[in-house]
Chains A and B, each alone.
Chain A
């Protein structure tokens, strides 16, 4: 039997607004442990893109076009969208 901790899944991450600038990317693929949470994905992203560290506490998170909390469990192929607050008008 495989230990589930070591099974990795691939998800898609979409960056909006200031996160696009901080990462230099609109969309990336990310490997996370199966059943990893949104929060796990965010922690992994901070390691890859340290510039987003100051923003992640405040971003709204959505999976497959629906807002979810940080404890939401991700599945393979999910699209995680990170929407930071924007004030311009």
Chain B
């Protein structure tokens, strides 16, 4: 369903359209001419997630004539806390398909182009070239750099938004346009962040959580910038970056500036075409772990809570799990030890609020973050068998490695964490 946007040109509004857009027509800043501009605009929204949902809804309602949506995901139950294009009945459906239906129902004037794909260095130029304005509402660094570079190369405004827990930021990257306050060239994403963060150092929404209303606030700010740019009104957010904190209810506006040494829009650019962004960022665009989690979530919803999820192998591990004999123990082995009442030091290294969601009985809570100050509680047990678990096996492995450095001789992390435990040993137990 990946066809080129319809080429059509609205020269006059019919009477239905006059009724529909009456509130816009009353604004001298919009009026008939402005509404025609909206109907003739082509906007590409990359990511139909937390940000993409409110953006696409408001742009469709405003009568933006062509809206392209890029997303390869299907709707999963944990999306519904914030992704307001979707509903319970659309779980398991491709997001672009469910979104297109909702947007068409909202406004038949809008043609929605479904790009059910991953944007990458091979297709980004072709996709971006077909639209006037690009919106970055993705959830990963490789795509953000990819979209940035393509927008700089093709001179398209990039309406940027990103969110983290209770905080978000918005700006317009358009180095081909001027900062309205200073007349200077605006920055691009690489001017602010030339290098991506270390892989794994910045949690995603799936890992760190996000308050549901936050993408609504940030996304509608992005939609507002899109509409201003289409209409050519107001002061675009070029050269300014707005941060928002939902807990403090605080907006801050930072002046940002173009970097002459920027590798993509500086004086001597070294990047003149898209590069390999997964290699550049050291992470895949689609995190296989989160893809698997989405699949399992959808399956559980559609086929009942007791569904065992993906088939596990003879040791109770997911089929392609890279089990590390030196550092890990399977949930089944742990279960055997607990049933036998073996003498083990059994630790949960998650955070207090995660324990309230689900836990394995008999464990002591020492969050990974508190290991430094609380290691004294484990002193004297250096020779005992220590087994640690967390949500999915990452933090507990780090915990185990620290303990080993500290002289603990027999330390193991439970593979797959409590999520795997709740698939294999305690089926139907919460997945989060």
Contacts and interface: CB of A to CB of B under 8 A. Distances in A.
Interface of A: 16-18, 20, 26, 54-55, 57-58, 60, 62, 65-67, 81, 83-89
A18 B203 contact: yes
Contacts of B49: 89
Contacts of B204: 87-88
Contacts of A86: 162-164, 167-169, 202
Interface stretch (B15-23, B246-254, B302-310): B246-254
Contact of A83 (B47, B169, B201, B255): B169
A88 B203 CA distance: 8
Contact of A58 (B144, B196, B254, B256): B196
Contacts of A65: 252-255
A85 B141 contact: yes
Given A58-B193, A67-B255, A89-B215, 8 more contacts: A18-B201, A18-B203, A20-B167, A66-B255, A87-B141, A88-B204, A88-B210, A89-B136
Contact of B161 (A18, A54, A84, A89): A89
A89 B138 contact: yes
A84 B197 contact: yes
A18 B255 contact: no
A33 B167 CA distance: 32
A89 B137 contact: yes
Interface residues of B, number: 42
A10 to B, nearest CB: 21
A52 B141 CA distance: 20
Contacts of B196: 58, 85
B243 interface: yes
A89 B167 contact: no
B140 interface: yes
Contacts of A66: 254-255
B198 A18 contact: no
B149 interface: no
A88 B167 CA distance: 10
Contacts of B164: 17-18, 86, 88
B52 interface: yes
B208 A85 contact: no
Given A17-B167, A54-B201, A86-B167, A60 B192 contact: yes
